[in-house]
Amino acid sequence: MAAAGFFFSLTALVILIQLATSLNSCLAATPVHHSGRSTRFIRTSCQTTLHPNLCFTTFAPYATRIRGSPRSLATTALSLALNTTRFATKSVASLSKRHGLKRREAAALRDCVQEVGDSVDELKDSITKLGLPSAGGSDFRRRMSDIQTWVSAALTNDDTCMDGLSGKSVNRILKTRVRRRVVKVAHLTSIALAFVNRYAAAATHK
Ligand SMILES: *[C@@H]1O[C@H](CO)[C@@H](O)[C@H](O)[C@H]1NC(C)=O
């Protein structure tokens, strides 16, 4: 009886030790993403973009959500670019409907709304495509290449809008207003493109 009791408590002890060990290794295997490390990832990623300061102030609040993931960084960047682009389209559209605009000014603004509106579609499609489950390999590369093409096209649209405004026919104050919004859109889109490129390269070289 005493021997059996000793055996059982020995077994219990062994199980306990195993449990503690596996719990320990389980905890060690979980990546520790405290905010310092997540923020550092944002900082170093932003340094590879053309607008590191705008990038860091924009993305730092999302650091713990992104958790050091290049894919999540790219998705967040596309989503932020999309939201900013949508807002810019709406505000330029309402500017274009103001009274007192010369016909040429209204036309230039409407062109902008159309071009930046195309960017909205391209960014939306990119987010959808990035979110699809990947079959890996050539499928992944083709998909990333499509996304790179669309985000580059969005960037070109933003430039086209601003080029269309640079003629003398548009009032300077109006030009400045539109420019301020579209420049922000272009910068965020350029950051999104950098992060998409980074994710494509990182995942391909794995
Ligand atoms: C963009 O806007 C959508 C809808 O308003 C929102 O759900 C999403 O969180 C926004 N994206 C970011 C990154 O803030």
Q: Tell me which DSSP letter residue 68 carries.
A: T
Q: Give the position, in ligand 1's atom list, of the atom nearest the Cα of 82.
A: 1
Q: What is the model's pLDDT at position 34?
A: 53
Residue nearest to atom 12 of ligand 1 (CA): 80
H-only helix segments in the chain: 2-29, 35-46, 52-59, 63-66, 70-96, 103-131, 137-165, 172-204
Residue ranges around ligand 1 (CB below 6 Å) = 76, 79-80, 83
Q: What is the model's pLDDT at position 21?
A: 45
Q: What is the model's pLDDT at position 139?
A: 86
Mean of pLDDT over the chain? 85
> Backbone dihedral region of 188: left (phi > 0), alpha (psi from -120 to 50 degrees) or beta?
alpha
To test the pocket of ligand 1, the residue of 83, 127, 195 to mutate (highest count of ligand atoms within 8 Å of its CB) is: 83
To test the pocket of ligand 1, the residue of 58, 64, 79 to mutate (highest count of ligand atoms within 8 Å of its CB) is: 79
CA 201 – ligand 1 centroid, Å: 26
For residue 15, pLDDT beyond 50: no
Q: What is the model's pLDDT at position 98?
A: 87
Q: Give the position, in ligand 1's atom list, of the atom nearest the Cα of 76.
A: 13
Distance CA(65)–CA(201), nearest Å, equals 22
Q: Are 186 and 159 in contact (CB under 8 A)?
A: yes
Over the stretch 133-185, which tens digit does the pLDDT of each residue have? 877 788 889 999 999 999 999 999 999 999 988 876 788 889 999 999 999 99
Residue nearest to atom 5 of ligand 1 (CA): 83
Please give the residue that has the higher pLDDT: either 84 or 172. Answer: 84
* Across 21-25, average pLDDT: 44
Reported pTM: 0.80
Q: Tell me which DSSP letter residue 49 carries.
A: S
CA 79 – ligand 1 centroid, Å: 6
Q: Give the position, in ligand 1's atom list, of the atom nearest the Cα of 83.
A: 1
For residue 206, pLDDT beyond 70: no
Residue nearest to atom 4 of ligand 1 (CA): 83
